[in-house]
Amino acid sequence: MSGVYTGLRFKGVVKQNFRLNFNLIATSGDWLSHPDPAFNEYGRIRSAAKIPNGFLEHMPGEWEDDEEFLNYYDSQSGVWTFQCSTNNYDKEIEHFFKLLPHFIESVQMIEIFPEEDDYSYRYDLIDGEVKLVDECYKYYESTYWKRPYEIEDDTNEDNEELEF
């Protein structure tokens, strides 16, 4: 089963009372290992571990080169960063957004990029809810809907229509 991928980039601070037991979630997506029932409930979603550990499938190349969003967690400061992608079949992103106010005290960045779009969306934690703050946050040229001959490619310098 394949489908459209959605990328998620996150940088925020985990609340003090969750920091001690948060490492397994931050590094391996093991939501069920934490004693908090809300994490356990989220962990029962079939693809919950894709946040934060889904591979960067069909995401802009600059995401792979951006060290600011490497999977990182500091249990002292609570700073947690990651980037991942998922098909979101189980609406794990939406469930993650509902869970965030429970354990995150502040957000520096939440960015969503559906591979079929040209722009990413920026979200923030406002009044205890994750809310959309910019629906055209950053432009990334999508190749999702383009036919192969519309994609700029050095091997087809004359931009001739390719035959299949």
In this structure, is residue 162 part of a structural domain? no
Q: Which domain holds residue 105?
A: 6-156
Residue 161 lies in a domain: no
- Looking from the CA of 97 toward its CB, the CA atoms found within 13 Å total 19
Residue 144: its pLDDT value, please? 57
Q: Report if residue 101 sits inside a domain.
A: yes
Q: Total domain count for the chain?
A: 1
Percent share of the chain, pLDDT over 90 = 60
Tokens encoding 108: 């520096």
CA distances 132 to 41, 77, 110, 129, Å, are: 24, 26, 9, 10
Is 42 inside any structural domain? yes
Question: Each residue of 131-145: pLDDT tens digit?
Answer: 999 988 899 876 555
Whether 11 is covered by a domain: the verdict is yes
* 29 within a domain of the structure (yes/no): yes
32-82 pLDDT tens trace: 989 999 999 999 999 999 999 888 888 888 888 778 888 899 999 999 999
163 domain residue, yes or no: no
CA distance 78 to 52: 15
Q: Specify the residue for token string 């040229």.
A: 141
DSSP per-residue codes, 61-75: HHHHH-GGGSSEE-T
